[in-house]
Amino acid sequence: MRMSFLAAAITLLYPLAIWFGHGRIEPRWLAGLLLVAAISRLPALKLNGVARWSVAGALVLVAAAIWSNLLLPLKLYPVLVSAALLAGFAFSLTTPMSAVERMARLRGEDFPPVAQAYMRKVTQVWCGFFVVNGAIALGTALWAPEAVWSLYTGVISYALMALLFGAEYLVRLRFKRLHNV
């Protein structure tokens, strides 16, 4: 899934902006930030269905926040992002080329079957991550104070993602060495 710099920046900073705005700005006005996040994803709409569903979900959350003037719909955006990524990665497992392989092929490389199988497993690991991450984001949105939600969705989840990227990179180096790929 391609994402513009603006969309990526908003997605990264969104939890902190919600936390800082909570109690200072009404949720219906904070919904404008989520609207900007959705609008920044518009160029990706022509690329894939996951982007379309993600934008539609964000617009539903914006409408719910404006209508209810509650913070909860805005806190559900990270859950939506995890769900959209899970959908994209999981759907790719039903096709001949997994999401991880599709990303790896952007560099123009061709891969032997053993590497394709490895990338399919990595895609499955990312699916597991998105399930756990989305569940924790949902739990913190529903039952934790805003500071805890913001800490998890704005810092810890990204640290866990970086840790998974790093661990997979080390495993990939070992895999390449063992399989001469």
Instruction: Write down the domain spans for the chain.
Output: 5-179
Q: How many CA atoms lie within 13 A of 113 on its CB side?
A: 0
Prediction pTM value: 0.89
Q: How many CB atoms lie within 10 A of CB 47?
A: 12
> CA 121 → CA 96, 115, 118, distances in Å?
13, 10, 5
Which residue's structure tokens are 């394709």?
Answer: 116
Distance from C-alpha of 139 to C-alpha of 156, rounded to nearest angstrom = 14
Give the pLDDT score at 1: 42
Query: Is 11 a residue whose pLDDT tops 80?
Result: no
Q: What pLDDT score was predicted for residue 3?
A: 54
Q: Per residue in 52-110, pLDDT tens?
A: 888 889 999 999 999 999 999 999 999 999 999 999 999 999 999 999 999 999 888 88
Q: How confident is the model at residue 44 (pLDDT cuts 50, 70, 90)?
A: low
CB of 85 within 8 A of CB of 48?
A: no
Q: What is the DSSP secondary-structure string of the chain? A: ----HHHHHHHHHHHHHHHHHTTTS-HHHHHHHHHHHHHHTGGGGGT-HHHHHHHHHHHHHHHHHHHH--SHHHHTHHHHHHHHHHHHHHHHTTSSS-HHHHHHGGGT----HHHHHHHHHHHHHHHHHHHHHHHHHHHHHHHS-HHHHHHIIIIIHHHHHHHHHHHHHHHHHHHHHHHT-
